[in-house]
Amino acid sequence: MEQLWLLVLTGGLAALAMASGGTLFAALDVAMAAQETVDLLALARDHAIATGDRTAVRFDVAGTRVVVHVGRDTIAVGDFHGSGLTLEATRDSLSYAASGLGVGAANLRVVLTRSARADTITVSRLGRVQRR
């Protein structure tokens, strides 16, 4: 009888741990993807300043990818496909001039979501990046 109670208690604790573990993993996935996206934006800006070439960051919402490229050359790719993440962006791309400032007349907002967890990255017209 005591072993039965022990099994019931262990099973209940395991069920609680698994339920909260899914939320924890979703939060970790979103945080890591958001940091990788911020890193890709910084890479694009640094590359534009270092080389003097206009560098673009493209947000592939359907493929859940962030691609940094100069002309036809791809510099880096953040591929979140298959991770259960959803990528939303207010613009399909962002470009940095040789000065490191953003090119274009609008701010950009990227939202990465998985389950109930979301992270928002905002890029100003001047190219400043904020993560919330």
In a domain, 58, yes or no: yes
In a domain, 1, yes or no: no
- The parent domain of residue 100 ranges over 27-131
Convert the pLDDT of each residue in 35-68 to its tens digit.
999 999 999 999 999 999 999 999 999 999 999 9
Q: Mean pLDDT check: name the lowest of 19-23, 35-39, 82-86, 127-131.
A: 19-23
What is the band of 106 on the pLDDT scale with cuts at 50, 70, 90? confident
**Model-level pTM?**
0.83
Contact partners, residue 63, CB within 8 Å, separation at least 6: 79, 81
Report the candidate in 103, 104, 115, 108 with the shortest Cα–Cα distance to residue 131. 108
Instruction: Report the C-alpha dihedral over residues 109, 37, 68, 95, rounded to 10 degrees.
Output: 30
In a domain, 5, yes or no: no
In a domain, 21, yes or no: no
Q: What is the CATH number of the domain that holds 90?
A: 3.55.40.10
Judge contact between 102 and 123, C-beta under 8 A.
Answer: yes
Judge contact between 83 and 29, C-beta under 8 A.
Answer: yes
Q: How many domains does the chain have?
A: 1
In a domain, 114, yes or no: yes
pLDDT beyond 70 at 28: yes
**Overall average pLDDT of the 4-32 stretch:** 77
In a domain, 38, yes or no: yes
